[in-house]
Chains A and B, each alone.
Chain A
Amino acid sequence: MAAAALLCALAACGSAGAKPDATPALTWYVGPDRADTAALARTCTEAAKGAYEIKVEQLPTDVDARHALLVRRLVAKDTSIDLLSLDSAFTAEFAAAGYLAPLPEELKAPFAQDIAPAALAAATYDGQLAVAPWWFDPQLLWYRGNVAERAGLDTTKPISWDDLVAGAERLGVTIQIADDDGSGLAQWVNALVRGAGGTLVDGTGRNAKVGLDTAAGRAAASVVEFYLDSGGDGPSKDALKKFAGADGGFLLAPSSVIADPDLAAVASDMSWTSYPTVADTSVAPLSGVGLAVPLYAPHTDLSYQAISCLTSPAVLTSIMASTGHSASRLTTYDDPAVKRAYPMAPVTRPAVLSGATLPVTPYWQVAERALDDTWLPLRDFSQDTTLEQSQKAVRAAIQGQLS
């Protein structure tokens, strides 16, 4: 039975078509986020008072599998997806391919209102808002108990990577890097390059510049090498479990991990501060989800009504208060309920403003594959050879060539 359920979840089955009964069902495909999407769907279904009914379907956890499944469905002009939780990293590609229904003009202003600039940029392609920004998580430096203090780190100021790694090594605790869906390495490298003042991929076309062989790229690589030499594992799916384990000390993970069941045992003992720095300022990896409507969705207007509901202040507040996801809309941070139940705000709000999203280009997915392919396995990483190979490979991938 479990096996069947798994298969079902993986292939995103049971997609309901238009049913003959009065209430149109909107199928909402969600990614592996920690928000209780079923409850949110219920909330908006009730708020719609019979105009529509939202059903939730799960997309694969792995980023490549999710990408492949969505591309195949959207190329096939699938009509079974009404609403889509679209990774911010896919938005440019899907918008360029014309897979998404254009946003109604009258909704563009409300959807873009008070959105953090980085989230807005990631939701925009070619000058047009392509999706409704929803939540947008910055990564934070989490630590257990008083390890930061014992490691001699001053958490009131930004901590540099060098101090963090040296301090953790002295204490004999690990620095774990969370990777929920397989894009963790790319997010990490991208943020390090940006933190050193460079850009990983600059431009949206085939001739985009790749910034790994610059001074910033080398600074990022030396951080990675220093971290690996101290015994770090790199981004991994088990990071949360290991952080909660015996020698766990530090964790780099999005704000929503606070709600993760793997951390339930240590959650009360966890503190946080801003993402470690490479140069002067903290540049945290940012990743999020926008709500989109596929071009061939049958009830486009209802889908946009549902999106208006899902991006309403009440829903955003409940997401932030109950799951630790950070809303894209900055005014949500000022809500009293959020202030009570979301204590990370003083760190996450500046992080959203200063952080780095994955490059917004239609060719990001191939660039990420090339990056992963040259950097992994991390135990073979070397600043001298890997960086050069990776620069060539990412460049070739964006140009549509073999590396």
Chain B
Amino acid sequence: MKGWRWLALPFAVLLAVTGWPIGRGIWLSLHSAPLTNPDGRTFVGADNYTDVLTNRGWWLAVATTLVIVLVVVVLQLLIGLVFAVALRRLTLLWPLTRIIVLIPFALLAVVSAVVWRDAVTTGFAADWFRLDDVGPFGQLVGVTVGELWRGTGITALVLLAGLLRVPSSLMAAAIADGATAWQRSRRVVLPAMGPAIAVAATYRGLDTFRILEGPLLVDQPGAAIRTAPLLVWDTTFSSLELGLGAAMSMVLLVIALLMAAIMVPLFRVRRVV
């Protein structure tokens, strides 16, 4: 129990900075609260929630977001794994590759979204692949590819850390026993890397779920496809309906929680301190 003496203050602060806004969000979500009409703040009970939960556009946006998350995470894992394997074998280049691998992640997401949008509308991707007026959907794909590009390096790094944990003696034994490459990767590498893959998938998944910059950048009136974070942002900060926005925020939190609740047991994420 002595540990709690050390932990008390950090946890008090942590709970304050997360718990307070969540509490305020729940309270706010029970009101109709237009920012520019302060007299219009009225208690409406669960009306905002019934509005959000029965809205087709909202669930469409949630589905869009989840599809983006799935595609981006799977691609990041695959590409990251290829790079991780290559990086592990070529230790000669490590000083250089170590730097390159992290630069995209350090670039601001806003900047990455801007240059990727330009790439598919007027820039190199449009030029190379003869894209002609990609439209709002194409732009959304563009900024999503940008997000994929930003996160692949860090994914590769995590997977590399997992690969380095594969015991070389076990590998040597497997080779001596005449195991094929396929058998080696299934029986030796994957079990040892499992935790790294699980953590990478979970973290990247939840990180992709919350991206806002790209969709916000390419949004335009009449766009057919929007993501859930974008709808939350629009309602709260463009329509200035703080109460409705708070209700959407809380639903978004619950969805993120459900994602974690599914992914953590599914991948057996175990990061014990």
Contact = CB atoms under 8 A, between A and B. Distances in A.
A23 interface: no
26 contacts: A64-B238, A71-B36, A93-B37, A96-B36, A96-B37, A96-B39, A97-B36, A99-B36, A206-B40, A362-B37, A363-B34, A363-B37, A365-B239, A366-B239, A366-B241, A369-B221, A372-B222, A375-B222, A376-B221, A376-B222, A397-B239, A400-B243, A401-B51, A402-B55, A402-B57, A402-B235
Interface string B48-64: 00011001011000000
Contacts of A373: 221-222
B38 interface: yes
Interface of A: 64, 68, 71, 75, 93-94, 96-99, 206, 362-363, 365-366, 369, 372-377, 380, 397, 400-403
Contacts of B231: 402
A347 B35 CA distance: 40
A94 B36 CA distance: 7
A248 B35 CA distance: 44
A96 to B, nearest CB: 5
Contacts of B240: 71, 366
A375 B240 CA distance: 21
B36 A372 contact: no
A400 B241 contact: yes
Contacts of B11: none
A93, A365, A401 — most chain B CB neighbours (10 Å): A401
Given A68-B237, A99-B36, A369-B238, 17 more contacts: A64-B238, A68-B238, A71-B35, A96-B36, A206-B40, A363-B34, A366-B240, A366-B241, A369-B221, A376-B221, A377-B222, A400-B32, A400-B34, A400-B244, A402-B51, A402-B52, A402-B235
Nearest to B136: A377
Nearest to B34: A400
Contacts of B238: 64, 68, 369
Contacts of B239: 365-366, 369, 397
Count chain B CB atoms within 10 A of each CB in A98, A206, A363, A400 and give the residue with the most: A400
Q: Which of B34, B39, B231 has the most CB of A within 10 A?
A: B34
A260 to B, nearest CB: 24
Contact of A93 (B36, B39, B220): B36
A71 B34 CA distance: 12
Interface of B: 32, 34-40, 51-52, 55, 57-58, 220-222, 231, 235, 237-241, 243-244
A10 to B, nearest CB: 14
Contacts of A71: 35-36, 240
Contacts of A98: 38
Contacts of B32: 400
The majority secondary structure among interface residues of chain A is: helix
A402 B244 contact: yes
A211 to B, nearest CB: 21
Given A366-B241, A402-B244, A403-B57, A97 B222 contact: no
B244 A401 contact: yes
Q: Which 3 A-B pairs have the closest CB atoms?
A: A376-B222, A372-B221, A97-B36
A93 B34 CA distance: 11
Contacts of B237: 68
Contacts of B235: 402
Contacts of B222: 372-377, 380
A97 B235 CA distance: 18
B37 A97 contact: yes
A403 B238 CA distance: 15
A206 B55 CA distance: 20
A96 B38 CA distance: 8
B192 to A, nearest CB: 48
B241 to A, nearest CB: 5
Nearest to A90: B36
Interface centre among B37, B51, B55, B58 (most CB of A within 10 A): B37
A201 to B, nearest CB: 15
Contacts of A366: 239-241
Contacts of A400: 32, 34, 241, 243-244
Nearest to A96: B37
Contacts of B39: 96
B220 to A, nearest CB: 8
Contacts of A64: 238
A369 B222 CA distance: 9
B39, B57, B58, B238, most chain A CB atoms within 10 A:
B238
Q: Which of B34, B36, B55, B243 gathers the greatest number of chain A CB atoms within 10 Å? A: B36
A130 to B, nearest CB: 14
Nearest to A185: B221
A362 B221 contact: no
B119 to A, nearest CB: 19
A372 B237 CA distance: 17
A402 B243 CA distance: 12
